[in-house]
């Protein structure tokens, strides 16, 4: 299958970006995993800091689904990415003037992956891990992680149903 080179929304050309229809769906069993919204994960965000939500705490260590957006990658292929509530059109790795959003989830993938355009909603499935921890692969301190994560693009109509809130 020959895949076209896509231009991300922030203007960089990434041959690693794939069209949304280039993916096989996640296994049917993953649809039974609880779907967490960003409001479920982060009870508060802002001046008072981040506080994890009760539902996320209850599901720590369990497989879950979270819907959101992949930040623009700095690599064409990697074994991790950052999931955000809203599209991020500039790469925080690439642009030193760009800050990471506070409420984000680090997706640590089962295997290396290519990526989709940051405006494409996605669903990520993985084991929910909570608590501030330095990730040695990325060199970043993150509060929420999905381990052994897999992902797929989702239709825009489905995206409004659970993960963006």
Q: What is the pLDDT of residues 129-156, one digit of tens each?
A: 999 998 787 777 889 999 999 999 987 5
The superfamily in CATH containing domain 32-159 is Protein of unknown function (DUF3299) (2.40.50.870)
pLDDT band at 113 (very low <50, low <70, confident <90, very high): confident
Measured CA to CA, the distance from residue 79 to residue 154 in angstroms comes to 20
pLDDT at residue 1, as a whole number: 31
Q: Does 56 score more than 90 pLDDT?
A: yes
**pLDDT tens digits, 84-107:** 999 987 766 666 676 777 788 999
Residues 35-46 have pLDDT tens digits of 999 999 998 766
pLDDT of residue 85: 93
pLDDT for res 39: 94
Q: What's the number of CA atoms in the CB half-sphere (13 Å) around residue 97?
A: 2
- Predicted confidence band of residue 67 (pLDDT cuts 50, 70, 90): very high
CB burial readout 24-61, b (16+ within 10 A) else e: eebeeebeebeebbbbbbbeebeeeebebbeebeebee
Check whether 32 has a pLDDT greater than 70: yes
Question: What CA–CA distances, in Å, run from 41 to 37, 58, 105, 134?
Answer: 7, 10, 9, 19
pLDDT of residue 50: 84
- Contact between 148 and 107 (Cβ < 8 Å): no
Report pLDDT for 2: 34
What is the model's pLDDT at position 129?
97
pLDDT surpassing 60 at residue 164 = no
Q: What is the rounded average pLDDT for all residues in the chain? A: 76
């Amino acid at each position: 299958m020959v895949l076209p080179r896509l231009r991300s929304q922030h203007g960089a050309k990434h041959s690693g970006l794939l069209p949304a229809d280039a993916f096989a769906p996640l296994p049917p069993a993953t649809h039974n995993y609880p779907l967490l919204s960003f409001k479920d994960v982060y009870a508060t965000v802002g001046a008072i800091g981040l506080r994890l939500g009760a539902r996320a705490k209850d599901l720590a260590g369990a497989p879950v689904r979270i819907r959101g957006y992949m930040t623009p990658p700095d690599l064409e292929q990697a074994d991790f990415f950052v999931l955000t509530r809203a599209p991020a059109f500039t790469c925080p790795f690439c642009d030193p003037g760009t800050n990471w959003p506070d409420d984000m989830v680090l997706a640590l993938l089962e295997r290396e992956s290519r990526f989709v355009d940051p405006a494409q909603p996605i669903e990520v499935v993985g084991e929910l891990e909570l608590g501030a921890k330095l990730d040695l692969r990325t060199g970043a301190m993150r509060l929420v992680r999905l381990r052994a994560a897999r992902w797929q693009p989702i239709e825009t109509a489905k995206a409004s149903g659970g993960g963006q809130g």
